[in-house]
Amino acid sequence: MTELSLPRLPSPSLALTLLAPLALLTACTPEAGSGPTPLWQDEFTGTTLNPAHWGHQTGNGFMNGSEYVAGWGNNELEYYTDRPANVRVEDGQLVITARKEAFTGPAGGTPQTFGWTSGRIRTAGKFSRTYGRFEIRAKFPVGKGLWPAIWMLPEDPSPYASWAANGEIDIAEGWGSKPKQVAHTLHYGGVWPNNTYSGVTAEVPGGVNDWHTYTLEWRPGEIVWKIDGQVTQTKTAWWSAAKNPPGSDADLNPWPAPFDRPFHLLLNLAVGGNFDGNPDATTPDAAEMRVDYVRVYSLEDEARDPGARPDMTYPWTPRPARPALPDGNLVYNPSFDWADTDPRVTPDATHLDGVPQSAFWTLFTLDSAVTLSSDAVQGRALKADITAPGNVNYAVQVRQDGLNIEQGRRYEVSFDAWASTARAMMVKVGGGQDRGYAAYSGEQSVPLGTARTRHTLTFDMKGTTDAAARLEFNLGGAGANAVWLDDVQVRAVGDAAGPRPPAPDGNLLYNAAFTQDVPGDPGIPGVPGTAYWATWEDGASGLSAALQDGEIQLKVAHVNPANNWHVQLNQVNVPLTQDRTYTLTFQGRADTPRSVAVVVGENGGSYARYLNATADLTPTAQTFTYTFTAPVTNPSAQFQILGAVGAPGDAYTLGLRDFRLTPKP
């Protein structure tokens, strides 16, 4: 199910569907000796859920310390309830129902209205176990955006820190849009974002909407998945890091961590998010996940020796690095014009289907439709005609793998890009699956116009050197249109800068009094004195900014009732140190009472929030104070004030001043 204990996930380019090829069903080997011994079961024979076995999880997210992680870390749409309308027991079956309906409930302390409800139950605090056979007979619903799941999380994260160093086992997850397939996945590695996963997509005979028995057999050093008694996947290699970020074998927890501790079971039916995208017109307004039974057995060999740690590849494992081109460019075939007979085109080079002279480039799509071509009129630029954009930006992804991005270096990314209509695309240099799809460059939103334009981005590589990094152009989720790309460059341009030092008064936030103009840092457009600060809006909020007597004033013409991030005041490159405690203060007011979000967190990736609080502003200016402890070292964190929600069409003005962020002694 891929839930984070540190806020996630899921990076929009995480692409959880990038699993191994379809698993072929193989004959089940009969159990030796006396076989499994029954330990725990629920046959759902009563009229209500057994409270001694199961507890409900409700809401649209979870608290991680002081931080609220919305959408369960996966951008999910549903609000889980404990109502019989969403979770009930009937006819000897558990029934979890997802319903399309308006439902208002608290989300991080702020009431919000959601478009879907569903149910999520777990055995945490009631039953957990290390090793054994876990057998669940179930049938899954089908329909775009539905995400039924049978999975396991550690009962106690210690001693392996948090997700995913402490592990996750996904017994069966269904894509509502893929009625004959389920995913079997292990999540492990380092603490997010240094996590990784591996798994397969398995064919389900007859489809997931029929009854099937999903089984997990877990022994020391081995985890086996079965469908209807037939083996679909076996895993014998994984790892868990004791240090974040891990940098060598010495940073590993003892084998077979993390899968040597008690795990509990979860059953839920999610709606929307990163796994299967959001529902569409074909999705039913009500859908049921049914479970006939859950049975857990001990295995006669579950106390066996796990053996020595198997050979594995880690992020720090040396691997051959593809050299830069003579001009320093790490991107091969940068202008989409290398002939296949070019000696630089190796036999293993990827190509874009139907596009001549496209060696070294790759296309990934997710519930989208795009036609790629070489546009001779535009000098052989790559043209992407997007007819179905999908629900997320990585639904259409043009990328190149194999870039050698070295720790401690600064990189410049430049390219020509334009579109048939004004739009934005997300550009990212990051890791692949074995790096948890980390965003080394952050996720950069690049506005495209209709004229060919040169775009340039820079970033410092703070992660472990990655000889297999990826450059991604994420073109999905922005309507049907055409996008052109040409002359793509990624070059090392020097050494990375160290963390930004505090201001002379010790403040980690620069220009806290809104009095500075700095060459090369324009600040908020049209507002002198706002160096180091920025604003952002979703294009429909009518945001304008002004400065008066040291107070930054944000005027919002149109409230977005769905979320509070439609209006933002931001400062990036704020240096934080793992396990250090910080104090944030500022003064704020609003012309009408408004609750805004106060956030310190990651700038990119999953936009993890280390501080996720609120400030209840009134017409009288007040001083607000917060403390938080940084869960990771991040030399370029982001501070944000997120706008208020309200009724559609509401307008308001915020006044903010005297920001101060300092480490506690």
Which residues are catalytic, by number? 168, 173
User: For residue 73, which phi and psi values (nearest 5 degrees)?
Assistant: 80, 0
Burial of 385 (0-12, 13-18, 19+ CB in 10 A): middle
Enumerate helices (H) and strands (E) in the chain, giving the number of each: 0, 40
C-alpha 97/C-alpha 143 separation (Å) is 13
How many angstroms separate the CA atoms of 650 and 562, rounded? 13
For residue 451, the one-letter residue type is A
DSSP 163: T
Q: Tell me which long-range contacts 33-40 makes (C-beta under 8 A, separation of at least 24).
A: 33/300, 34/300, 35/300, 36/132, 36/133, 36/297, 36/298, 36/299, 36/300, 37/297, 37/298, 37/300, 38/295, 38/296, 38/297, 39/129, 39/132, 39/296, 39/297, 39/298, 40/127, 40/129, 40/295, 40/296
Distance of CA 624 to the CA centre of its chain: 30
Q: Which of 322, 275, 573, 315 is closest to 430 using CA atoms?
A: 315
Among 81, 87, 89, 129, residue whose Cα is nearest residue 105: 81
Residue 224 backbone zone (phi > 0: left; psi -120 to 50: alpha; other: beta): beta
d(CA 405, CA 411): 8
From CA 428, how far away is CA 397, in angstroms rounded? 11
